[in-house]
Structure 1
Amino acid sequence: MIPIFTLLIFGQLDHFGFDSIPSPQTAGIAFQVTIYALNNLGQPVPYYGSAHIYIPGISYPVKPDTIVYFNGSSSWQGNLMVSIAGENIILRCEAGGATGTSNPFQVMPNSPYRLVSVLPGETYAPGHQKGRIGTPSSQRAGDFFNVSIFLTDRWCNLINTADDSVFCSSTDQFGTQGGIRLSGGGGGINFAFRTASNQTIFVRDVTNSNIKTDTTSNISIYPGNYHTLLVLLPGENHLPGDTTISNANTPGKSGSPSDQYVLEDFPITVYATDSMWNKTGVSGSQIRVSGASGFSEPAPQIIQNGEATFYANFSSSGEKFLIARDLDSNFISYDNFLKITARANNFDVAVSPETISPGEIAKITVTVYDRNNQPIEGKWVSFSVVGGNGYILPQYDTVPTNQQGICESQFTINAGYFNELDTIEIHADNYTESTTVYVIIPDSSVMEGNLVAYPNPFGKINQPVTRFIYYLEQSCNVIFAIYDPFGNLVHRRNIMAGENGGRMGINMLTWDGKNDKGKRVASGVYYVMIKGYVHTNVFLEKRLRVGVIW
């Protein structure tokens, strides 16, 4: 210890002196240090101010790195922590041109805590917060490089007695992975990435799960040399680094090509890639795309920055293929397959009858044609009422076309007070067309619960049937009965709820003037009874006279 005189000899600060630091110390654990402000004779002098504490040649591992002398004291005493381990550690104190160093002492690593991985271009840095300094050098996809791995304490000092096993994986789903056994606390593994992008490696201790895992710095992986062409169709995504080998499994991309349509252009993207399907940056080569029969054969394009885009179509439907070829280097893609389907381009619509009354059905027949004006088989066609009170029968709202490209739907109406023109929208693919049905309401009193018959009387040559119109508040069972003037039953029909005549809304039933044996009744007046019921509840019971004239 430097002697302290009862009476300090004042003079100018010349250098600093340390009490001897015991050895060994442990990284990360504070120990007491006393530092004196001394004149050129080695005598204590008052000092007002601060001083910097560091290890020569290393800028980071002492805390605190600044000490303060208060009230003109000639000594500072406090705890310092050194984060770097070593055999001959020396502390230096410096202020205003005055310096001083401690005795050499040993600092031992602390207990095992974490892994540190170091990439090419970086330097292992014990005592540093991350354990490494520098910037990783870029690597080429597919090339192996060495990754150094160290088992360290919390402050990244090597634990040279460790022989743990470690395992390495990465952000590259197609990159290498594997493990090594450390020797003397360290080791190296050869690693390669397949996907060109910014990547990282994850390192974990297999022997001791309590050891903190490490993630490397980001490392830039660039593509290899131009090797082949890759075709991307709508619905497919680029999959650089892909390890798929069989062309049937479409290496270099994921997803399935979406169906395209006859005589409609679709985009075709072509990449110039390396052997691992990474897009390169080559420019200047002339690329041609060709395909199966009916392909529109777009003009060749010059590839720019590894990419060219074409727009083309097929004139016929079916399973098709296409390829891309570099006309300068003769690189060629594998065969790419997609389905071409016929898309609705126009309809032929027929409505029969074009005019109906409530309860009647209008049939809507549609023939669907493609851009080649050819009928399309198996095309789903949807029908919806967009104007009026009618509706499409549920089983006919979406129907497929037959071999002749024809489908049929049915329209009806159950309610209404006035005549109306209903509009039906017909839709297939992205094509839509409309048609109309005229609805005649024979007597608006039907909605008020009346039973209406028309024509009445009937039976002439041009009026072979009469229609009975009535309104039901809900679906129910219906009895439809006709009697002669003497009360004898002529015709009876039992209708179940939900069937035609037993639906909620306006219903229509017809009678052709024949009895249940299929014979014409005699001319005269007949009595009609319609009764709607569910169990014992009667919702409608109406009677009406109707005349038959032959």
Structure 2
Amino acid sequence: MSALLGLLLIAQLNSFEFTAIPGPQTAGDSFQITVIARDPSGGIHPYNGSALLSTSKDGLWSYVQPGVITFQNGVWQNDVIITLADTLYLRCVEPQNLITGQSNSFAVFSGPPDRLLLILPGEQYAPGSPDGKLPNPPRNQVAGTGFDIAAYLTDRWHNTIKARSDSVYFGATDRFADIPPGQLSDGSGSFPATLRAAGNQRLHGHPATGSPVTPDTSSSLAVNAGPYEQLLMLLPGETHLPGDTTTRPWAMPGKEGRPEEQFLGIPFPVEVQAADNCWNIVTAAAESVALSSFFPFNSVPEQAKLGETFQVEFLTAGPNQNLSARTLAGVSSYMSWVNIRPRTSLLEVEAPDTVRAGETTFVRVTMRDDNGLPVVAAPCRFSVIAGNGDMLDSALLSDTLGRVTARFLCSRARGDELNTIKVTADTVVTADIFVEMPDPSLLDGNIVVFPNPFGFNQDRAKITYYLRAAAPMTVTIYDTFGNEITNWKFGTGLEGARAGVNRIYWDGRNRSGRRVANGIYVVQVIGERHTGTTFNSSQRIGVIW
């Protein structure tokens, strides 16, 4: 019975009527409309069903929200939002019986400026839609070949904002892209662009600094490499740099990084690729290529196909040895340069077996190659891998005899200990140095003076003391009446003020440089930090000339 009543009610529904909609409206802003269900005589029909709401411009998208309305007693009154800026009218349709009605025509203007929109070749601008464009992929482009992009200043719903001439700046995921800035005309514009790096790229558009407009990033754009035009040779340490705009051969276009130093007589890989005019690697015909140099070398194979790898071995050592590639058809690469040096296979290390804590000693190394010859101008590195010592020289270059001399100091020992030094230069060796505490009483805060007395036997005395922590230090020599003879001040961490064993020397002279008289003197060592005194000790010194 109820179903029959519903059919009767629908049968009496004749049309939908819109009350007049004033214009203009603003895209994205809500406004109220009223839709009335009418019977055949023009009266209000008590329809309580649903109907579809659309605009006269609907196609792939519906430009009105909501799209479905539900009547109560023949009337629907509520707010709607239209996203498309255009002149249009609204339609109401009951879908089962196709009962319809439409509003008056009215204008919808764009909303306030909100964002930029970039449209690539192959894409189609679609104002009023969620993305601002039809779901068509952009057309592929060729590296180094220019094309045009469109830019629009739009509201939130991608409607163009007319009468605007904003400046627009561009960028791309391709760091070598050429997209000059430009200016919109009446809210839109077409701008030239050239992408150089092959692969999937995106473009960026942003307004002038300070603008509240949201920047845009384009769809992903496939950029194909151009035709084969040149050769690209890659040595170890170099990385392919597609799209590179560098043109001068000495700047190594098409790649970044510097060739790694190679060893005499040791093969290393060299790759030769076909490239377009933007240094993108391309697939070329099976063309043969060979290498050449001003210096003697071997390559395996002697000839290879483009894209294959050579194993190259130089037969003489020296800096800046050149290498280039050339196809049988006459296409050449620019020259690359690589340093070749002998490989260090033997390290001869000389170091003392035992040293005193706080004394600087020397570790001497001779570097030799496979033939026992000195390795010249090669790096040698030093590090302490066990013990509390320090290498004062961590890296040195060998001299013309293949030798390096590094300084070792252990001032932080708290007793006798063994230090192990690691020496690295293509190969690795270790050396042990035993560090002994010169006087165990140093750990108790005492000062040790040697020789004592001095003057008749040695022209200076060595003053030794131990600090648990680095601190500013003052060392003063007094006579027996308390008169100051001379003094030294040492900053934190310097010799005389570093953690561990410290040594300074007194030559028996006052601050004027004159010898003091024979007699007994007192050395006082004081360390002070902002937290208080960290060290305070004294010791007598005898002077006999």
Q: Output aligned runs, 1:249-328, within 5 Å.
A: 249-282=251-284, 284-299=286-301, 300-303=303-306, 307-315=307-315, 316-327=317-328
| Partner amino acid, structure 2, of 1:302 | K
Counterpart in the other structure of 2:80: 80
Tell me the residue number matched to 2:89. 89
For residue 247 of structure 1, report the CA deviation from its aligned partner: 1.0
| Corresponding residue number in structure 2 for 1:495 | 461
TM-score by length of 2: 0.70
CA deviations over 1:493-541 (Å, ceiling 9, x no partner): 6422369xxx999x9xxxxxxxxxxxxxxxxxxxxxxx99844967699
- Give the TM-score normalised by the residue count of structure 1: 0.70
Deviations along 1:383-441, one digit per CA (max 9) or x if unpaired, are 6676899x78x6677665432223456889999999x9x785451323122456899x9
- The within-5 A match list for 1:505-516 is none
Corresponding residue for residue 433 of structure 1: 429
1:118-197 matches, cutoff 5 A? 118-133=119-134, 134-197=136-199
Residue of structure 2 in register with 1:49 after alignment: 49
Alignment correspondent of 1:478: 450
Aligned letter for 2:305? I
Show the counterpart of 1:32. Answer: 32
Distance (whole Å) between structure 1 residues aligned to residue 415 and residue 172 of structure 2:
74
Structure 2 match to 1:244: 246
Structure 1 residue 360, shift from structure 2 partner: 11
Q: Deviation digits for residues 46-99 of structure 1, max 9, x if unmatched?
A: 4343222122542221011111234xx222122222111223434243432424
Q: 1:532 to 1:225 in 2, by over 3 A?
A: farther
Equivalent residue, structure 1, for 2:403? 406
1:254-291 alpha-carbon deviations (Å, 9 max, x no partner): 23223233233433333322101122244633343443
For 1:237, the aligned partner's letter is T
**TM-fit CA distance, 1:160:** 4.0
Distance 1:96 1:309, change over 3 A: farther
Q: For the Cα contact (< 8 Å) 2:319–2:339, is it kept in 1?
A: yes
1:15-42 superposed Cα distances (whole Å, 9 cap, x missing partner) = 5412243342322233332223455666
Amino acid aligned to 1:187: G
CA contact (8 A) 1:165 1:206 kept: yes
Deviation per CA, 1:431-469, whole angstroms, max 9, x where unpaired? 122456899x9xx9x9778xxxxxxxxxxxxxxxxxxxx
Counterpart of 1:431, as a letter, is: T
- More off after superposition, 293-302 vs 359-368: 359-368
Residue 369 (structure 1) shift: 0.8
Residues in 1 aligned to 2:282 and 2:162: alpha-carbon distance in whole angstroms: 44
Instruction: Specify every segment of 5 or more residues in structure 2 that has no aligned partner in the other structure, as ranges.
Output: 1-7, 466-495, 504-519, 526-536
Partner Cα separation in structure 2 for residue 121 and residue 413 of structure 1:
72
Amino acid at match of 1:497: I
Equivalent residue letter for 1:432: V
Matched-pair contact (CA < 8 Å) for 1:383–1:424: no
Deviation of the 1:346 alpha carbon: 0.7
Percent of paired sites with the same residue: 27
Partner in structure 2 of residue 69 of structure 1:
71
* Residue of structure 1 equivalent to 2:482: none
**How many Å apart are 1:335 and its aligned residue?**
0.7
Cα separation, partners in 2 of 1:48 and 1:266, compared to 1, 3 Å:
farther
Superposition RMSD in Å:
4.4
CA-CA distance at 1:127 after TM superposition: 0.9
**C-alpha deviation, 1:212, in angstroms:** 4.1
Are the counterparts in 1 of residues 16 and 38 from structure 2 also a CA contact under 8 Å? yes
Name the larger-Rg structure: 1
Contact map agreement 1:263 1:371 (CA 8 A) in 2:
no
Which deviations, in whole Å up to 9, do the C-alpha atoms of 1:92-132 show, x marking residues without a partner? 43432424131341223234414333211111111112321
Mapping of residues 344-423 of structure 1, within 5 Å: 344-349=344-349, 366-382=365-381, 400-408=397-405
CA separation of 1:183 and 1:387: change in aligned 2, threshold 3 A:
closer
Question: Are the structure 2 counterparts of residues 480 and 253 from structure 1 closer, same or farther at C-alpha, using a change threshold of 3 Å?
Answer: same
CA distance in 2: counterparts of 1:321 and 1:15, whole angstroms = 91
Kept after mapping to 2: 8 A contact 1:11/1:45: no
Whether the aligned pair in 1 keeps the contact of 2:53 and 2:92 (CA below 8 Å) is: yes
Give the number of equivalent residue pairs. 467
Q: CA deviation at 1:208?
A: 9.3
| AA of the residue aligned to 2:24 | Q
1:341 aligns with 2:345: no
Deviations 1:121-175 (A, max 9, x none): 1111111123212221111112222222333333222344444454444333322
Q: 1:215 aligns with which of 201, 206, 217?
A: 217
Contact 1:425 1:432 in 2 (8 A): no
